[in-house]
Structure 1
Amino acid sequence: MTVRTETITARDGERLAVHKLGEGRAVVLLHGLFSEANTNWIRFGHAQRLVDAGFEAIMPDLRGHGSSSKSHSPAAYPHDVLVRDAFDVVSGLGLADFDLVGFSLGSRTAARAVIEGLRPRRLVLSGMGLQGLAGWSRRAAFFLDAIDRFDSVRHGDPAFFAVSFMKTQKVDRVAARLLLQSVADTDAADLAKITMPCLVLCGAQDRDNGDPQALVDTLPDARLVEIPGTHMSSVTEPALGEELVRFLSA
């Protein structure tokens, strides 16, 4: 099945590439930091599993990533711009009834968008724990440091794998740095606004964004499912797509 790509123009005129696969009930999938739709959702078969189950996978490349705009102007990265972009994708595609899935930064964006009023039928926060939402500034500082020390990081450095992934993905570091500075913390009390059924889906060895059970305990209607893997490897596991299908088909 062929991936269809179209461009949504965000409210500030920046271009957002949106990749689609299949026909059926819409599932919007938001990828992680330094990644893009193909790496998170297409390459390892997760989008195809959704399509085979009767869904349409709608996969934006986040601003600063993939085929979307990578402006070097600070004006293109206002506070919570990814949340604003999520609203623009949903409205630009005319989606009235849809599910929402995020991984890592995509989960943080999905949660913030729901807090701000986006209303998917069901929500999946994958690769995420409570501290990745309520303590984002510490996580962002790690990646900003990795960008700043990009050329000097060697094997054994805590930032080595982040830098290696940036190299593999050919990340635009200027755009990535500006985007990271636009991302804000989430007040844990605001998580009570996420009232739809929510799946917290996390690798059994993934605690990069904190404790997933603590996140479940904070949400009104959530459950935790663990799959094999670390933060980096869990996206390669067939179980990720299988659990998405299971939860969204309920």
Structure 2
Amino acid sequence: MPSFLSAGIPIAYDVYGEGMPILLIHGFGSSGKVNWLDTGWVETLTKSGYQAITIDNRGHGNSRKLYDAGLYFARDMALDAKRLLDHLGIRRAPVIGYSMGARIAAFLALQHPGHVSASVWGGMGMNLISGLADSEEIISALTAESLADVRGKTGRQFRIFAEHTGADKAALAACMVSSRQPMTEMQVREITVPVLVATGSEDEMAGSADDLAALLQHGEAFTIPRRDHMRATGDAKFKQAALDFLARHR
């Protein structure tokens, strides 16, 4: 994979297809490949005339692994995304983020609205503002000696996923400490770009998509039927809703 330096940190990315560039930002513990290529998003987007650009967030995939929790704030990872667009000579593009990637996409839209034409936030509703209470459980699960030592349901999910993807569990534990930095309601109201907020009907981690969309200046909500947080990522109805939304905001 190609890479570039963002504030001295090597960040890996990949580019697929030709057409209008679209930036894809993956979720916690995942990677560009796992979140976007393996789920069929890249194929869907390239067939629809987009050039799909995936980024491996710091600490993930083929990007540099960092063990200082202070280097994983969502606002800083949003700068990585902005610098990737600059590196590729892309002035403005639509952005899709999932879960942690949606939080990063939100800070990107807030801090650098000129770089974002429209944004899709998957797996992230009102918990963008209210935050999540299971961070300590996930950190403990990632730092446990083995999966057998992990008891909590959420912790086990994240530990199994990290082992399945071959992720650096110590880097992920550091990331979990600070990457869930909440956005304030006032900051959400300041976002001017069009946003589609999409969450699964069974997603207990995201919070309300409708309530978050209502706070945005140009927000829409979509419920992904019969999907929880983990299974909504590559859902066909989610993809179609995103394509329809992006087509209205080209």
- TM-score greater than 0.5 by the shorter chain: yes
Contact 1:201 1:226 (8 Å CA) reproduced: yes
Which residue is equivalent to 1:15? Answer: 10
Shift of 1:76: 4.8
Which residue is equivalent to 2:141? Answer: 146
Structure 1 unaligned runs (5+)?
none
Instruction: Report the more deviating stretch, 141-150 or 92-101.
Output: 141-150
Which residue is equivalent to 1:245? Answer: 243
Shift of 1:71: 2.7
The question of 1:176 aligning with 2:176 is answered no
After TM superposition, list the pairs within 5 Å mapping 1:67-106 onto structure 2: 67-73=62-68, 76-77=71-72, 80-106=75-101
The one-letter code matched in structure 2 to 1:9 is L
Q: Residues 99-128 of structure 1, C-alpha deviation per residue, up to 9 Å, x if partnerless?
A: 011000000001012212243111111101
Contact 1:50 1:244 (8 Å CA) reproduced: no
After TM superposition, list the pairs within 5 Å mapping 1:146-225 onto structure 2: 146-149=141-144, 151=146, 152-154=149-151, 157-183=153-179, 184-225=181-222
The one-letter code matched in structure 2 to 1:157 is K
Percent of paired sites with the same residue: 26
User: Aligned equivalents of 1:245 and 1:79: distance in 2?
Assistant: 25
Instruction: Give 3-state SS (helix, strand or coil) of 1:64's partner.
Output: coil
**TM norm structure 2:** 0.89
Q: Residues 56-115 of structure 1, C-alpha deviation per residue, up to 9 Å, x if partnerless?
A: 111101111111111335675467321221221121112112101100000000101221
Contact 1:21 1:47 (8 Å CA) reproduced: yes
Contact 2:75 2:108 (8 Å CA) reproduced: no
Residues 54/62 of structure 1: CA separation in 2 closer, same or farther (3 Å cut): same
Shift of 1:148: 3.6
**TM norm structure 1:** 0.89
The one-letter code matched in structure 1 to 2:164 is T
Instruction: Give 3-state SS (helix, strand or coil) of 2:60's partner.
Output: coil
The one-letter code matched in structure 1 to 2:153 is D
User: Aligned equivalents of 1:193 and 1:139: distance in 2?
Assistant: 28
Contact 2:25 2:101 (8 Å CA) reproduced: yes
Paired residue total: 243
1:234 aligned to 210, 232, 235, which one?
A: 232
Structure 1 runs of 4+ off > 3 angstroms? 72-80, 139-142
Structure 2 unaligned runs (5+)?
none
Instruction: Give 3-state SS (helix, strand or coil) of 1:236's partner.
Output: coil
Instruction: Give 3-state SS (helix, strand or coil) of 2:175's partner.
Output: helix
Q: Residues 180-212 of structure 1, C-alpha deviation per residue, up to 9 Å, x if partnerless?
A: 233222111110121121111121211312111
Shift of 1:161: 1.3
Q: Residues 8-51 of structure 1, C-alpha deviation per residue, up to 9 Å, x if partnerless?
A: 2112x111111111111111010000011111111121111111
